Every structure is written in C-alpha cells, then in structure tokens.
Amino acid sequence: MLKLKSHFQNAKGHKVECRGSRYRYCDFLIKVGTVAISSSGRGISVEVEYCPCVVPGDCWNLMKEFMQTFLGSNVPELPSVFAAKAEGLFATADCVDTMNQYLELFNKLRKLQAPGSNVR
C-alpha cells in the first residue's frame, strides 16, 4: 500500500452548499436557495412542502397548482425519488427522500460544471 500511495492522490471533492431563505405561506413551507459549488454559484433550489400531508400522492395536485403560481411550466411531473418506489407518490415521504432529492440536484449541477459542458 505504501508503494501505491505515491501514485494515487485523494480526489479533491468540491464543497457543495445550498443557502437561502425559508418562507411560510398558510400550510406551505417554501425554501429557496442558491446552490454553490466551491463558493461559485451554480443554480437555484426551490423546495415546497405541504405541512399537513406526509403522503405526496394525496396532495400532489394541490402542490403542483401552488408551484405553478411562481414556477410556471417548470414544475416537475413526478420527483424521481418517488418514481423509484413501488408505491410511487403514495409512499410516506421522509427526510431520506428530501436528502436524496438534494443529492440528485447536486449531482446534476456537478455534471453541468464538468469541462466542455454547455451551461445556460
């Protein structure tokens, strides 16, 4: 192992950070933040939560309608986190689902940052 150590270096991981504001509108919790990679702004994150409901399928249409008021046609049809589950949107949402959605967003932004990628 010591001989190999001189040939390999640990990958320099870029620090990914999302900072922003949190707003409450009636039963909705909206978190808007700027995503920065290595202290350079790369994107915007918008998280919407309907507090009275923990099963997204029961309130998805209401959430879509609410998000369309400020995101327009950019509202996602179905978060991929729930598409991967057998129950789909009718699975109970928890903090792991939120964490996976942020991880997916950060990975997409990292890929866009790669040399030679066309970012707009």
pLDDT digits (tens, 9 = 90+) for 6-40: 655 556 667 889 999 999 999 999 999 999 988 88
CB 76 within 8 A of CB 67: no
Residue 120: band (very low, low, confident or very high) from pLDDT cuts 50, 70, 90: very low
* Share above pLDDT 70 across residues of the chain, in percent, rounded to a whole number: 83
pTM: 0.76
CA distance 71 to 54: 22
Give the residue, 22 or 90, on which the prediction is more confident: 22
CB 33 within 8 A of CB 44: yes
> What mean pLDDT do residues 108-112 have?
86
Q: Can you give the residue ranges of every domain in the chain?
A: 14-113
Per-residue confidence (pLDDT) for residue 31, from 0 to 100: 96
Q: Is 64 helix (H, G, I), strand (E, B) or coil?
A: helix
> How confident is the model over 69-80, as pLDDT tens digits?
998 988 888 788
CA distance 12 to 61: 42
CA distance 108 to 104: 6
What is the identity of the amino acid at 37? I
What DSSP line would sit under 79-110, residue for residue? Answer: -HHHHTSSSGGGSPP-HHHHHHHHHHHHHHHH
Smallest CA-to-CA distance from 23 within 66, 75, 56 is with 66
